[in-house]
Amino acid sequence: MFKEIEQFVNWVRRRNPTAHTWQDYHCDLHQFASHIGNKQLRDMVAPIS
């Protein structure tokens, strides 16, 4: 999941590099990933029936 977080944060940063939003997302998402572990997103989402 850390790879996906970095990709998302980099995308946000490229859209508006002067905003601090990307730094907030980076911190919050890394805290979340540290809490749940480095799992793949597909392993955490229930399949749609």
Helix axes 2-15, 21-36, angle to 10 degrees: 170
d(CA 25, CA 44): 19
- For the stretch 1-49, pLDDT in tens is 788 889 999 999 999 878 888 888 999 999 988 888 877 777 777 777 7
Q: What pLDDT sits at residue 18?
A: 83
Predicted TM-score (pTM) of the model is: 0.67
CA-based nearest residue to 38, from 28, 46, 47, 29: 29
d(CA 23, CA 12): 9
